[in-house]
Amino acid sequence: MKTRTMAEPYKIKMVEPIKMTTREYRAAKMREAGYNTFLLKSEDVYIDLLTDSGTNAMSDWQWSGMLLGDEAYAGARNFYNLEKAVQEIYGFKFLVPTHQGRAAEHITSQLRIKRGQYVPMNMYFTTTREHAERAGGIFYDCIIDEAHDAANPFPFKGNVDIAKLQKLVDQKGADAIAYLSVAPCVNMAGGQPFSMANLRAVAAWAKKYNLPIIFDATRAIENCYFVQQREPGYANKPVREILREMMSYGEGMTISSKKDNLVNIGGFLATNNESFFTKAKEMVVVFEGLHTYGGLAGRDMEAIARGIYEMVDDAYIASRIRQVEYLGNRIKDAGIPLVVPIGGHAVFLDAKKFLPHIPQEQFPAQALASALYVDSGVRGMERGIVSAGRDHATGEHHKPKLELVRLTIPRRVYTNLHMDVVAESCIALYEEREKIKGLRMTYEPESLRFFQARFEEL
């Protein structure tokens, strides 16, 4: 039987008008923005798929919680509500709130990495690697090879390759490793999940060497949905239970609440390791704010606490991921090259195959993201050579195998008709792809260059 249509498990009671613009207008705006979609004004964007970070629509329950913000400097009631949500849903005892995810990464990296130690990650994430490196750590990619191949349809491309971990231990010794940084629904791999079986095996391996796992749990619930859908034994388990099992294999987590947690700002660090918690509490007051607010208003913590309970609703997470799949399937059915399987938070166009006439040094994904905006006002983001940055030692570009444009879907924000507009624009560009030109970088910031770099057309 054909699967029946599933509509959103919510209705819309407030709307935000968006501006329709002409192609000429957008071409001028793109040029002014140096062909970097991060430098466009949001008001000039029609459908904003730049990121799923902080772009979520909050529910009436979350908004009403905002009015219950206790804005005391210390010990706000909302901190305790958040602590309870973290304990109940993620299963970690100790909580340190931060203004967003990278602040939790900063604290974790500074406290847990000794200069010269390796930090294995299942693929890098920009801010995670940056903070590890600033703390003197060395990023070590331990994701399975399949993850670096956009066309490989393996269902768990976020899996950790234990042989790669073993090789590192054999060569350098376990003491040379700070901890394992494991991310669910790996962002840079295309939003690809790991399987619970893989995580269980990684945890057993890590235990042998006394190496802790610290999750980047930013998109954990999306990973849990894939486990429920794809992994034997999980079909009848609620995502809430799957999440508790997943987190039970780790010593702690950092998170950007701006994704899974359905809010616009916030993050935290949570752990069962009391001495780490104590040190993190000392550090958060230097960089973020007192340990019961960590740079957040009381109302923000309340919204996160409520978002955490809402994200574990099975109907919500199914509708969220099915919308991403809807967009992906429309693009795929038109024969356009993209990362498969379709990921949890975004559809990733394969810019190398989309624009074979543009060499990687001419930034094909950057060029494709720009062309998409000019065509339809849809804003995506480069995830390729620009995002990968340079090797700090040699000064050369990192040349990632994946050269992608990310079309990231905010949670509970757009309808499937918006998705149709996006798909039609991708199809129109694909039909005239040879007209798209490569770019030259005219300004390059030293770190995280993709945010502010500027380009011109060749």
By annotation, the residues acting in catalysis are: 73, 125-126, 216, 259, 383, 450
Nearer to ligand F0G, 169 or 222 (CB): 222
Stretch that binds ligand F0G, among 97-105, 348-356, 418-426, 437-445 (CB under 6 A): 97-105
Nearer to ligand F0G, 306 or 383 (CB): 383
Query: What mask of x and - would describe binding to ligand F0G in positions 244 to 283, judged by CB under 6 A?
Result: ------------x-x--------x----------------
CB 347, CB 331: distance < 8 Å: yes
Q: Is 131 in the site for ligand F0G (CB under 6 A)?
A: no
Number of residues that bind ligand F0G (CB under 6 A): 15
Q: Is 100 in the site for ligand F0G (CB under 6 A)?
A: yes
**Closest distance to ligand F0G from the beta carbon of 57 (Å):** 17
CA dihedral 296, 284, 132, 38 (to 10 degrees): 20
**Closest distance to ligand F0G from the beta carbon of 51 (Å):** 3
Cα separation of 247 and 266, whole Å?
Answer: 20
Q: Is 102 in the site for ligand F0G (CB under 6 A)?
A: yes
Question: Which one of residues 34, 69, 101, 191 is an interface residue with ligand F0G (CB under 6 A)?
Answer: 101
Cα separation of 168 and 170, whole Å?
Answer: 5
Span 198-237, contacts to ligand F0G by CB under 6 A? 216, 218
CB 261, CB 312: distance < 8 Å: no
Instruction: Give 261's contacts (C-beta < 8 A, 6+ positions apart).
Output: 255, 304, 307, 308, 311
How many other β-carbons are positioned within 10 Å of the β-carbon of residue 171?
A: 9
Span 419-448, contacts to ligand F0G by CB under 6 A? none
Pairing of strands 47-48, 378-379: parallel
Instruction: Give 363's contacts (C-beta < 8 A, 6+ positions apart).
Output: 382, 384, 385, 386, 438, 439, 441, 455
Q: DSSP alpha helices (H): ranges in 77-194? A: 77-85, 101-112, 126-134, 162-172
Query: What mask of x and - would describe binding to ligand F0G in positions 37 to 56, judged by CB under 6 A?
Result: --------------x-x---
**Closest distance to ligand F0G from the beta carbon of 23 (Å):** 27
Nearer to ligand F0G, 169 or 214 (CB): 214
Nearer to ligand F0G, 128 or 195 (CB): 128
Q: Is 187 in the site for ligand F0G (CB under 6 A)?
A: yes
Q: In which element (H, E) is residue 388 found?
A: helix 385-388
Q: Which amino acid is at 278?
A: T
Instruction: Give 199's contacts (C-beta < 8 A, 6+ positions apart).
Output: 160, 182, 246, 249
Nearer to ligand F0G, 183 or 324 (CB): 183
Nearer to ligand F0G, 370 or 387 (CB): 387
Task: Show the beta-strand stretches assigned E in 294-425.
Answer: 346-350, 378-379, 381-383, 404-408
Q: Binding residues for ligand F0G, per CB under 6 A? A: 51, 53, 100-102, 125, 127-128, 183, 187, 216, 218, 256, 258, 267
